[in-house]
Amino acid sequence: MSESGPSGHTAPPSAASAPTDDHPIDIGTVEPPAFASSASSSASDPSAAASASTSSTDGEPAPRRRLPARRIVLGALVVVALAGGVAFGRTGWQIYTQKDATLDTPAKIGNLTLDDSTEGMATAEYLQTALSAEVKLDKAVGAVYRDSANKNILFLGGTGLFWTPADDLSTAFGLIADNEGAVTGLHDVDAGPLGGTMKCGATKTDEGDLTVCGWADHGSLAMAMFPSSTDAEAAPLMRDIRAAAQKR
């Protein structure tokens, strides 16, 4: 029976129910705090710990880490530098292998025969002088060839170190435009095994249309004018002339 105080009220049960050595607490009935369970699960599950570390205190996910801008810029510069190095190496090799070219005017190239008459020689001299005035050359050549139909094919060219062969070839085509008329329809054609660039186009003359083809590499530049010829006829003939006239 509970004891009553002076006022007749029952004494607080806490004093009577406090644990003693004779009456130990049954730990099987005690629930652990909620935070203890959370901490233990985080310790045993690394993914849960990582998730907790990436969350902000207000429950929203923390922003993703971004690569520093400096690292991105440096990486891009490395890629550009490597690409530039490859391009420079390729161009350097082309210059090295093409720069020491020579040009000649053989007496015969396939079905073409060199016109060594006085008139032919005078025309050849005029051609090389005109080209030298437009393009810087170490040595210029000029020739008139006659094909099997006895038509004249004018050939002019020269050697030197050309850093930008395509641009120098465009300048040479301008020479034809000044003397005959604009060269229209210029387009790339196969340059053959000697490489470089080769183009063909057409111009109009008093005698009719004239197909003009030219090549340029880092050591030589040349053009030829083919009367009454199509691209399909002139381009392979230009490659034949080049194979016979150019040496490295």
State pLDDT tens for residues 28-75. Answer: 444 544 444 444 444 445 444 444 444 444 555 555 555 566 666 555
Backbone angles phi, psi at 5, to 5 degrees: -80, -175
**First vs last C-alpha separation in the chain:** 126
Residue 171 lies in a domain: yes
34 and 149 inside one domain = no
28 and 136 inside one domain = no
The C-alpha angle 214, 219, 222, rounded to 5 degrees, equals: 20
**What is the rounded distance in angstroms from the CA atom of residue 177 to the CA atom of residue 115?**
24
133 and 235 inside one domain = yes
172 and 109 inside one domain = yes
Residue 224 pLDDT: 96
Residue 215 lies in a domain: yes
49 and 106 inside one domain = no
126 and 201 inside one domain = yes
Residue 216 pLDDT: 97
Residue 183 lies in a domain: yes
Residue 149 lies in a domain: yes
- Given a cut of 80, whether residue 185 has pLDDT beyond it is yes
DSSP string, 21-71: SSS---GGGPPPPHHHHHHHHHHH-HHHHHHHHTB-TTSSBPPPP---HHH
Q: What's the mean pLDDT when you consider all of the chain?
A: 76
Among the residue ranges 63-77, 97-111, 173-187, 215-229, the one predicted with the least confidence is 63-77
Residue 190 pLDDT: 96
pTM for the full model? 0.63
238 and 147 inside one domain = yes
Name the more confident of 132 and 84.
132
204 and 131 inside one domain = yes
- What is the residue range of 33's domain? 18-53
State pLDDT tens for residues 152-179. Answer: 999 999 999 999 999 999 999 988 776 5
What are the CA-CA distances from residue 146 to residues 91, 114, 154, 156, 224 (Å)? 37, 6, 9, 14, 12
Q: How many domains does the chain have?
A: 2
Among the residue ranges 83-87, 104-108, 147-151, 212-216, the one predicted with the least confidence is 83-87
30 and 131 inside one domain = no
CATH number assigned to the domain comprising residue 233: 3.40.1000
**What is the rounded distance in angstroms from the CA atom of residue 170 to the CA atom of residue 18?**
108
Residue 109 lies in a domain: yes
Mean pLDDT, range 133-162, rounded to an integer: 94
